[in-house]
Structure 1
Amino acid sequence: MPTAAYLHIPFCRRRCYYCDFAVSIVGDAPPQLAPTVSPSSISNAPTWHSIAQYVDILCQEIISTPTGERSLDTVFFGGGTPSLLTVPQLEQILTTVDRHIGIASGAEISVEMDPGTFDRAKLHGYSQLGVNRISLGVQAFQANLLAACGRSHTPNDIHAAVEAIHQVGLQNVSLDLISGLPHQTMDDWNASLQQAIALDPTHLSVYDLTIEPETAFGRQYTPGADPLPSDEQTADMYRLAQQTLTRAGFQHYEVSNYAKPGYQCRHNRVYWENRPYYGFGMGAAS
C-alpha cells in the first residue's frame, strides 16, 4: 500500500506564462472568509471563497478513498500555490489525512510556497501542524526575468521569505530555479545560482524551461529562437548548475534535484523509485 500522498492545491494569484498545470486564478486580494457568505452567493468564477469549498471537497475525497494499514511517510502539498491556504484550512486537510490514512511519526511534510504569499505567522502555524519542509518557488533572482515569466514576486520578496522561514525554525528548505528563460543570460544564471547558495538551502530543484502549447509562452515563443537561449546555451546552463552546486556541497541525486547530505526529498524518491502513492485533488494521479 502507498506510504506517500500528493495533495494538489490548484489556486494561484495569477497564471505564470510558462504554466500548463491544473490551476484556478483567484487574484491578488487576500481572503475575507466572512461567515455570512453562502455557497449560493458565490459566482462560478474562482474566488478566495472557492479555496474553502475546495478544501471541503478534497477532504471528502480523502475520506472516500480505500486505504491500507500503513501510515504515510511523506505528504506533499503541490500546486498551484498551497501557501494560499490559511492555517485552519491546512489543519483541516492534515487532520483528515491523519485520521483516515495516518501520518507516521517523523514523516516528511512538504508545502510548496511562493514568496509574497505568506508571513511569519502563517509559517509558524504551518510548522505547528507538522510541516517540516518548504519548497520555495524562486525561479530567478532578477526582477526583469521574474516579470518576463509572469511571476508575482520580487527579488526582495525572495529574501524576506527565506528569512521568515529560518526565523520560525524550519531548516529543510528547497529553492526552485528555472534556466532557459526569455532574455536570460549565462551571467544571469550564474548569479541566480550564487544567490541561491548564499541563502543556505538544504535542497535545490533546477528545471530547464519547457515551452508548452496553449501557454502564454507557447503562443509567443518558438523553442530555441530569440529571445530564448539556444539549446547549446541551455545545455551550458545545466552543466554550470551541476558544477556550481556540486562544488557547494550539494549531491546531484536526480535529474533536476540537488540536496545537501541527508536532505534528499523523500517524496521525490517515491516517484523515481516507482513506489505507489496516493494522489488527491484536481489533476492529481495515484
Structure 2
Amino acid sequence: MSSHPQHLSPPSAAYIHIPFCRRRCYYCDFPVSIVGDRVMGEQSGTIVEYVAQLCQEITTSSASSTRLNTVFFGGGTPSLLAANQVKEILATLNRQFGIASNAEISMEIDPGTFSLEQLQGYAQAGVNRISFGVQAFQDDLLKRCGRSHNVADIFASVELIRQVGIPNFSLDLISGLPYQTLQQWQYSLETAISLAPQHISCYDLVLESVTAFGKQYQPGETPLPDDETTAAMYRLAQQTLTQAGYQHYEISNYAKPGYQCRHNRVYWQNQSYYGFGMGAASYTHRQRFTRPRTRQAYYDWVSQGCKIDEPPLSETDRLLETLMLGLRLAEGVDLANLTQQFGEAILKPLWTCLQPYYHQGWVEATSQTGEILTHLNSIPLQGKIRLQDPQGFLFSNTILADIFNQF
C-alpha cells in the first residue's frame, strides 16, 4: 500500500469534458452545448475557443509529480473534436502532469460522428480505448431517444474501429426505455456480444426531471417498462453477458478478463481525480468541486484563475461515499482499508444496518482469500463485504438508503 491514504494521494486520473453534441438526447441532463449536424472540430470557432479555454484550465492547475495513469474524454460527443484538438489536449496534460507510457486513454464516441481518418488520428494522438454510445439496436428505439444515429451507423462505425485496430472498445446499452420490450433487450445484448467488444456497459434509464423524458413520462407508468420488467432486463443482462465470458465487475459494467475500465475504477474506489472542462467534477485534497455548467460561466471562471473554494468533505461524508461507491463493485469494500481510514468503531453500526440483508442473502462477506463467510453474527475485521449478484445489486438503492440513515 502507498504511504498516503488513496483519497489524499495526488490524482493519477483526469476526466476531460467535451460538451458538444449534434442534438440533446431525450434522457440527457449532462452539461452539453448543441452544435447541430454540420459543426465539427477545427471548422467550428465555438469548439476551437472551448479547447483553448480547456487547455488554459489544465495549465493553471498545480503541477504534480504523479503521472496520469488514466485519461477519459467524456461528453457530450468527444468525437466532434478533430484529431489535432485531442492531440493538443493530451500534450497539455502531458506537459502539466506527465502521462504514463502505459496509460489508459479512453474516449467516448457516437456512431456516425467520425471518419476512418479521424479515428486513425485519435489513435496516433494516444487514444487506446473507445467507449461507444450505441444504446439500442432498434431504429425505432434510437429515434424515440432522440439519438442522431441508426443501427446501420453502429455496424459501419464498429468496422472502422476494427480497421484502425484500437485494442479496446466498449459498448453502452440502455434498458428500461419507453416501449422497450424484454425481447428487444435480449436482441440488443446478443447483437452487442456478436460485435465482440472487450467491455459492455448496461445502464438502466434514469428519469431526470429537467430532461424531455422526465417531463413526458412518470416512473413505472406505460410506455415505460414496469419495475418487474426492468428487473428482468437486469437479470437477463447479467445472465447473458456472464455466460458469454464477460465478468460482471460493477453494477452496470461487464468486461472480458483484463479489460475493466481502469479510469472508472478510480471513482468506485473513491480515489482522487482531476476534472477539466465545463461542468466537470474533480476530487482533490478531500474537496469535491463541480465547474460551472454553461460555457460562458466556465470561461469567466477560467479567466478569473480557476479558483476552487470548497470545504473538505467531513469524515462521515467520506465514509458514506466510500461505502456507496465501493459497494457498486463486485468485489465490494475492503474492511481492513475501511477500518484503517475510519476506525473500528464504524463496524458495529454498519453491521446493524447490513445484518438483515446478510441473512436475506443480498449482502455477502468474504475472507481475505475470497471464500464466502456464512453464519456470521458480527462483521469480520478482514476480508470484504459486497452486494450479491444480481439480487443485492438490484436492491442496492434500498441497502444504501439504510446505510445513509444509519450514519
Q: Normalising to structure 1: TM-score of the pair?
A: 0.94
The residue that corresponds to 1:244 in the other structure is 240
The residue that corresponds to 2:325 in the other structure is none
The residue that corresponds to 2:117 in the other structure is 121
The residue that corresponds to 1:215 in the other structure is 211
The residue that corresponds to 2:301 in the other structure is none
- Report if aligned partners of 1:31, 1:49 keep a CA contact under 8 Å in 2: no
- Aligned pair count reads 273
Give me the whole-angstrom Cα distance separating, in 2, the residues matched to 1:60 and 1:274: 27
Structure 1 segments of 4+ aligned residues over 2 angstroms from their partners? 30-34
The residue that corresponds to 1:176 in the other structure is 172
Listed as ranges, the matches of 1:46-195 within 5 Å are 48-195=44-191
Is 2:246 aligned against 1:259? no
Structure 1 counterpart of 2:137, one-letter code: F
The residue that corresponds to 1:41 in the other structure is none
Measured against aligned partners, the alpha-carbon deviations of 1:46-69 in whole angstroms (never above 9, x if no partner) come to xx3211100000000000011320
Matching residue within 11, 15, 18 for 1:2? 11
- Report if aligned partners of 1:5, 1:74 keep a CA contact under 8 Å in 2: yes
Structure 1 counterpart of 2:27, one-letter code: Y
Structure 1 counterpart of 2:220, one-letter code: G
Q: Normalising to structure 2: TM-score of the pair?
A: 0.66
Give me the whole-angstrom Cα distance separating, in 1, the residues matched to 2:152 and 2:167: 20
Structure 1, gaps ≥5 residues long: 35-47
- Report if aligned partners of 1:140, 1:177 keep a CA contact under 8 Å in 2: yes
1:33 is displaced (CA, Å) by 4.6
Aligned-CA RMSD value: 0.9
User: Using a 3 Å threshold, how does the CA distance of structure 1 residues 60 and 32 change in structure 2: closer, same or farther?
Assistant: closer
Give me the whole-angstrom Cα distance separating, in 2, the residues matched to 1:67 and 1:150: 41
* Local SS of the residue matching 2:119: helix
* Local SS of the residue matching 1:151: coil
Higher relative contact order (CA 8 A, sep 6+): 1
The residue that corresponds to 2:273 in the other structure is 277
Matching residue within 193, 198, 207 for 1:197? 193
1:32 is displaced (CA, Å) by 7.9
Structure 1 counterpart of 2:252, one-letter code: S
Which structure has the greater CA radius of gyration? 2
Give me the whole-angstrom Cα distance separating, in 1, the residues matched to 2:64 and 2:97: 8
* Local SS of the residue matching 1:92: helix
Measured against aligned partners, the alpha-carbon deviations of 1:84-107 in whole angstroms (never above 9, x if no partner) come to 000111111011000111100110
1:119 is displaced (CA, Å) by 1.1
- Report if aligned partners of 2:68, 2:100 keep a CA contact under 8 Å in 1: yes
Measured against aligned partners, the alpha-carbon deviations of 1:103-146 in whole angstroms (never above 9, x if no partner) come to 00110000000001001111100001110000000000000000
Give me the whole-angstrom Cα distance separating, in 1, the residues matched to 2:46 and 2:163: 31
* Structure number having the greater helix percentage: 2
Give me the whole-angstrom Cα distance separating, in 1, the residues matched to 2:98 and 2:210: 39
